[in-house]
Amino acid sequence: MGGTARGRHDADPDAPLWRASQVFRLVTLAYAVSSHISTVPHYTRPGLGWFFIALLAAWSVLSAVLLSRGTQRWKVVALDQIVAIALMGATRLVADHDWYSNHQTMPTTLWVANAVLSAAVLGGPVAGTCSALVMATVSAVVRDQINLDLWRDATAPVLVAVGVAMGFATVTARHAHRQLAQAVRMAAAAEERDRLARQVHDGVLQVLALVQRRGNELGGPAAELARLAGEQEAALRMLISEQGTRVDRGEEQVDLRALLRARAGTNVTVAAPADPVLLERGRATELAAAAATALDNTALHAGPGAKAYVLLEDLGDEVILSIRDDGSGIPDGRLAEAEAQGRMGVSKSIVGRAEWLGGVAVLDSAPGEGTEWEIRVPREAPRA
């Protein structure tokens, strides 16, 4: 149980900031109490002042514990704002106008900064700035300082600076945590691929190669077994060779090479640049689907033993995808006839996708000369 709880705690990128801010809270508590000791003789109701300071101390300890543990933080932060505002307003109940109009509020500005810090850690710089402005405004209203002298008061600048600084620190911490988690996943995936590659190379590939060789030697029914073993060997070798391909980690951009290489096999050869070809996820998926349709047509109509070749070219602002096969080809008028019969596979799945992506798909085919599709699309979606 301890290990599990620790794992969840460490997975929270904000946890160090929450712990640090609660240390600050306890330090400001000590300052608020010491400040109260020196100022309570000037209060008109010192007993009530001690009650509010006791409430301040109790809330400081309770909120520090709850925020450090991560217990419904948004509720604690919301209550933190209310408590800070209420304690500032309570200054008018314990002191007269001459005193509170010329001094800071009873909780002290330093302690009130805790509410700003909490809002900033929870919601970033915008939430921190909003909290700071609210606290500064309440402080000015309570002290009756809504006048030209307000601009000489350091309360608002200090609180806003605290909110902005902690807010951006929170954003930076979360971004760094995502990058670290991503790096850990990539390292784990690379290590696992290396392990599998060693096992495959040391055992499975040798066995498949032996089965293929002996099956071809025996002939007859064993030839089919040899063919299947050869296909699996080619697929496994392709898997090993793709260890350098960019992994799809759920980002907005996808490496198109990985999507195309998933279709590689004994009868399909994929050639792509050495560097990742990154496209927006939707565009990459649609382009890969168009290639898959062309490859399916090859498997269904190009004839037995036909092989397909996929070539991906990255021209910077444009991507060119060529799918060629050495099959029987497409007779003249065959596509128009299929479309007239309501079979829209080619026109919708290939040509339609290319046009939707802002590009073009060109077919070159003749009976007995195979088929070639060239799909050219811009890297980015055209602007409306």
What class has domain 251-384? alpha beta
**Where residue 83 falls among pLDDT bands split at 50, 70, 90?**
very high
Q: How many CA atoms lie within 13 A of 323 on its CB side?
A: 29
Q: Is the pLDDT of residue 79 over 90?
A: yes
Which has the higher per-residue pLDDT, 6 or 89?
A: 89
Which amino acid type is present at position 323? I
Q: Give CA 243 to chain center in angstroms.
A: 23
Q: What is the pLDDT of residues 301-335, one digit of tens each?
A: 777 778 899 999 999 889 999 999 888 887 766 66
Q: What is the pLDDT of residues 19-54, one digit of tens each?
A: 889 999 999 999 999 999 999 999 999 999 999 999
Q: Which two tokens stand for residue 247?
A: 């992994």
What element of type H or E holds 361? strand 360-365
The residue assigned the tokens 């304690």 is 87
**Where residue 201 falls among pLDDT bands split at 50, 70, 90?**
low
Q: Which of 217, 233, 226 is nearest to 266 (CA)?
A: 233
Sequence ranges of the domains in the chain:
2-179, 251-384
User: Which of left, alpha, beta for 373 (phi over 0: left; psi -120 to 50: alpha)?
Assistant: beta
pLDDT at 11: 67
Give the rounded percent of residues in the chain with a pLDDT score beyond 90.
Answer: 29
Which has the higher per-residue pLDDT, 76 or 4?
A: 76
Q: Which of 142, 133, 137 is nearest to 104 (CA)?
A: 142
Which amino acid type is present at position 115? A
